[in-house]
Amino acid sequence: MAQRYVRVQSHLGHLHYGLLHPDRRVQVLDAPPWLQGQPTDAELAPAQYTILAPCAPSKIVAVGKNYADHAAEMGTPPPPEPLIFLKPSTTVIASGSTIYCPPQAQRVDYEGELALIIGERCAQVPLEEAQPKIWGYTIANDVTARDLQARDGQWTRAKGFDSFCPLGPWIVRGINSAAHLQTFLNDQPDPVQSASIETMIFSPGQLVAYISDIMTLLPGDVILTGTPAGIGPLTPGDRVRVEIEGIGALENVVAARA
């Protein structure tokens, strides 16, 4: 099993980056692993921590319509260059936390996605140097208020509500380039989304090169690489689980915002 890098809150209220062992003990690191954090002697037993999203990004850069089958279901051709937008850092929640549907939206959708974690400050990275800037990979759900996305014409509101970026549960350093992504609702045995990440239009390296030519990426920043076909609505009471082969499963429950 690949090493799993986590971020946790201890029972004493402290935030730590750590290594998650198979028996769920967490070995504490002295810094984020992409900033050369080293293992310490401190260890947390499963009852002594809660898992957080695995990084705390300064920004989340997301890519729209990066799978041809999803662009088609949205009724548009694939974009000729990456179509990017930002999600605020306050959208991030951990695996196991609640996605809140806001009262302004009539339709809130899941979008299962591969997330890239940037390891170092980078600007204007040439394509041939882009891949090593990706420190690791995790799973994201780019939750979207679909009706507000259509109504506003731009996506800040639709993509920006608190809790609209479940992220985690942990980071792995490498992933198979043909890894499968699947999204499941509740106890349904069949996935609502199922695709190989290989069918992405713009590859992770191309996205890092393209985005870093626009804005400086900082350590711990996140790139969401787009969702395949099969998007659909969430309703309060639902459970949604995004799985990526070689990483694990990101699972969240859905509730109406009070």
How many whole angstroms separate alpha carbon 108 and alpha carbon 126? 37
Give the nearest residue (CB) to Mg ion.
142
Nearer to Mg ion, 6 or 225 (CB): 225
Is residue 158 left, alpha or beta, with left meaning phi > 0 and alpha meaning psi from -120 to 50?
alpha
Binding of Mg ion by 221 (CB under 5 A): no
Contact characters 61-100, Mg ion, x per CB under 5 A: ----------------------------------------
Q: Are 227 and 111 in contact (CB under 8 A)?
A: yes
**Segment interacting with Mg ion (CB under 5 A) among 88-96, 178-186, 219-227, 245-253:** 219-227
Nearer to Mg ion, 97 or 144 (CB): 144
Binding of Mg ion by 142 (CB under 5 A): yes
Q: What tokens were used for 23?
A: 């028996």
Nearer to Mg ion, 29 or 181 (CB): 181
To the nearest whole angstrom, how small is the minimum distance from the Cβ of residue 227 to Mg ion? 4
Binding of Mg ion by 111 (CB under 5 A): yes
Nearer to Mg ion, 45 or 72 (CB): 72
DSSP secondary structure string for all residues of 134-178: EEEEEEEE--EEHHHHHHHSSSHHHHHSTT-EEEEEEEES---TT
Binding of Mg ion by 193 (CB under 5 A): no
Is residue 66 left, alpha or beta, with left meaning phi > 0 and alpha meaning psi from -120 to 50?
alpha
Nearer to Mg ion, 142 or 243 (CB): 142
Spatial CA neighbour of 111 closest among 258, 256, 257, 252: 252
How many whole angstroms separate alpha carbon 50 and alpha carbon 247? 19
Binding region for Mg ion (CB under 5 A):
111, 142, 227
